[in-house]
Structure 1
Amino acid sequence: MYFVYILFSSKSGKYYIGSTDNLESRLKHHNAGATPPTKSGAPHWELKYSELLADRTSTLKREIEIKRKKSKQYIEWLIRSSS
């Protein structure tokens, strides 16, 4: 199983969209500052949203779909709608 996830950093005020097969480990990796795109927000990344998908291909397609929206409003809508 794979996840598409959205993180938010209270330090940077930014969202990050990614995918993984191990959500817990990936969050620790981001908060350790080990990922260049999220280093500036470490160690304040919080998981705000995740979707579970069956395979890597579907997961990557969904990640790209969310990123192509380029919309903070859409991201916040996704987060609210999952609550």
Structure 2
Amino acid sequence: MFSVYVVYNRIYNKIYIGYTSDLEARLKRHNGILKNKKKSFTSKNKGKWELIYSEQSSTRKDAIKREKELKSYRGREFIKSKIK
């Protein structure tokens, strides 16, 4: 099972969209609780990354497809509606 997720950093007003097989561990990496193997977009932008949206996909292929949909213009508009 894979999760497609969106995290948001209020300090920098940045959005990150991704997918993972372990959402809890991935959120800890975004927030610097667990070490990343390399310097990532979210580790460069310090501050708390909040989970604002997630959904489950049964396959990696479906998760990648949905991630791309969320990164499209229409998907970004949907995500912006989730930010409070």
TM superposition score category, shorter chain reference? 0.7 to 0.9
Structure 2: any 5+ residue segments left out of the alignment?
Answer: none
Q: What is the aligned residue count?
A: 79
**For residues 61 and 71 of structure 1, do their structure 2 counterparts lie closer, same or farther at Cα, with a shift above 3 Å needed?**
closer
Aligned position for 2:68: 64
The equivalent residue for 1:19 is: 19
The two structures have a TM-score, normalised by structure 2, of 0.80
Q: Per residue, is there more helix in 1 or in 2?
A: 1
C-alpha RMSD of matched pairs (Å): 2.1
Deviation per residue, 1:29-67 (Å, 9 max, x gap)? 011173511123334101000011101000000001111
**Deviation above 4 Å: which 4+ runs of structure 1?**
none
Overall identity of the aligned pairs, in %: 37
Deviation at 1:17, TM superposition (A): 0.4
Q: Which runs of 5+ in 1 are unaligned?
A: none
